[in-house]
Amino acid sequence: MTTLLSVPIIDLAPYFAGTAEGKAGVATKVDEACRSIGFLVITNHGIPAELIARVSQLSRQFFDMPLAEKRKVDRPREDAVRGYSAVGEEGLSYSLEEAAPGDLKESFSIGPSHVPDDDYHRGPAAGPHFEPNSWPPIDGFREAYESYFEAMSDLSRSLMRIFALGLALPEPFFDDKIDRHISMFRVLSYPPQREAPLPGQLRAGAHSDYGSLTIVLPDDKGLQVFNKAGQWVDVPQVQGGLVVNIADLMMQWTNDQWVSTLHRVVNPPFEVASTNRRQSLVFFHQPNYDAMVECLPSCLAPGEQPKYAPISSGDHLTSKFVKQTTFGGTKAVA
């Protein structure tokens, strides 16, 4: 298997067509991408263009509101990633224990909606994972965001099935570990830069993501990935494509056979910085909080030891918040 140094574009149509051969072909390509660079761009993913356009337009409308209005749906607490976070309030590289100025972005986040009133969702073990969402007073906003969250949940289940095939596991292996997931959807808005950034300040500092996988829809270039040759390479902008990357939990699950890659969003070129605005829709997929992440049987060679102790998805996520808040006390989250 070759080590890819750039991000491949993978057509999901043969997987969704449903033949064993088509599924295996897609799974092999995805496995290669996840081993080499941890990123891929998917096409024919089935997410309606109309839904993407609607969420994008409503998000722009939200970020255009005055700061005081946006503050009315402000993030409630450090451990509850809901609502609005203003420019400079978060720094992704904080989670790597590296001091850097805050990221030049603002965001709006939601978690699962229409949460059942049962012990898993409402009991003490649920912690902040099913914190209610708050909504700005924009017509159609809630409906569009909830639809997008659902569409991303379904697509993530398909991707996890492809991952299972790529890892020589039964296709539904992950199904019961993600059927009550604690994922998060957030829209990021990177405003024009009318003043020069501080030294080291980026639109999003270098970081890896936390959960199983992330699905990103950027409307402009700027996203870069650190490849195995030690170079920052641009993620290709593909019309109608979605960027997928695997995150820390998946790396842990595979005993480091798959890589959760450092990535960042660079500042726009100086000539266009004062007018360039960038927006991305980002879905962070995170398994059920009680799903145990322990080295997959197919990822251990005979005689090899697992590199990580088993941990639950919920504890893994919470440990990231603790790391961030003890470091500099900044509201930081990926």
Ligand X SMILES: O=C(O)CCC(=O)C(=O)O
Q: What is the contact surface with ligand X in residues (CB under 6 A)?
A: 188, 204, 209, 216, 218, 223, 263, 265, 280, 282, 334
Q: Which two structure tokens, joined as six digits, stand for 36?
A: 């080499």
Q: Which is nearer to ligand X, 59 or 255 (CB)?
A: 59
Q: How far is the CB of 1 from ligand X (least distance, A)?
A: 26
Q: Which is nearer to ligand X, 298 or 325 (CB)?
A: 325
Partner in contact with 217, chosen from Fe ion, ligand X, none, beta carbon below 5 to 8 Å by kind = none
Distance CA 226, CA 263 (A): 6
Q: How far is the CB of 263 from Fe ion (least distance, A)?
A: 6
Distance CA 225, CA 94 (A): 18
Query: How many other C-beta atoms lie within 10 A of the C-beta of residue 330?
Result: 18
Q: How far is the CB of 284 from Fe ion (least distance, A)?
A: 8
Q: With b meaning 16 or more CB within 10 Å and e meaning fewer, what string describes 121-131?
A: beeeebbbbbb
User: Which 203-222 residues touch Fe ion, going by CB under 5 A?
Assistant: 209
Distance CA 125, CA 302 (A): 36
Partner in contact with 4, chosen from ligand X, Fe ion, none, beta carbon below 5 to 8 Å by kind = none
Q: How far is the CB of 52 from ligand X (least distance, A)?
A: 14
Q: Which is nearer to Fe ion, 178 or 282 (CB)?
A: 282
Partner in contact with 279, chosen from ligand X, Fe ion, none, beta carbon below 5 to 8 Å by kind = none
Q: Which is nearer to ligand X, 58 or 184 (CB)?
A: 184
Partner in contact with 30, chosen from ligand X, Fe ion, none, beta carbon below 5 to 8 Å by kind = none
Query: CB of 248 within 8 A of CB of 262?
Result: no
Q: How far is the CB of 303 from Fe ion (least distance, A)?
A: 35
The phi and psi torsions of 263 (rounded to 5 degrees) equal -145, 165
Q: Which is nearer to Fe ion, 103 or 209 (CB)?
A: 209
Plot region of 246 (φ>0 → left; ψ -120 to 50 → alpha; else → beta) = beta
Q: How far is the CB of 209 from Fe ion (least distance, A)?
A: 4
Task: Give the type of residue at 294.
Answer: E
Helices (H), the chain: 13-17, 20-36, 49-63, 67-70, 119-122, 141-166, 248-253, 313-326
Binding mask 279-298 for Fe ion (x = CB under 5 A): --------------------
Residue nearest to ligand X (CB): 280
Partner in contact with 102, chosen from ligand X, Fe ion, none, beta carbon below 5 to 8 Å by kind = none
Query: CB of 159 within 8 A of CB of 244?
Result: yes
Residues 6+ away with beta carbon under 8 Å from 332: 90, 91, 92, 94, 95, 324, 325
Does residue number 90 form part of the binding site for Fe ion (CB under 5 A)?
no
Q: Which is nearer to ligand X, 125 or 238 (CB)?
A: 238
Q: Which is nearer to ligand X, 32 or 248 (CB)?
A: 248
Q: How far is the CB of 103 from Fe ion (least distance, A)?
A: 11
Q: How far is the CB of 12 from ligand X (least distance, A)?
A: 20
Residue nearest to Fe ion (CB): 209
Partner in contact with 188, chosen from Fe ion, ligand X, none, beta carbon below 5 to 8 Å by kind = ligand X
Find the helix packing angle between 49-63 and 141-166, rounded to 10°.
130
Q: Which is nearer to ligand X, 26 or 41 (CB)?
A: 41
Task: Give the type of residue at 80.
Answer: A
Query: How many other C-beta atoms lie within 10 A of the C-beta of residue 223?
Result: 23
**Binding-site ranges for Fe ion (CB under 5 A):** 209
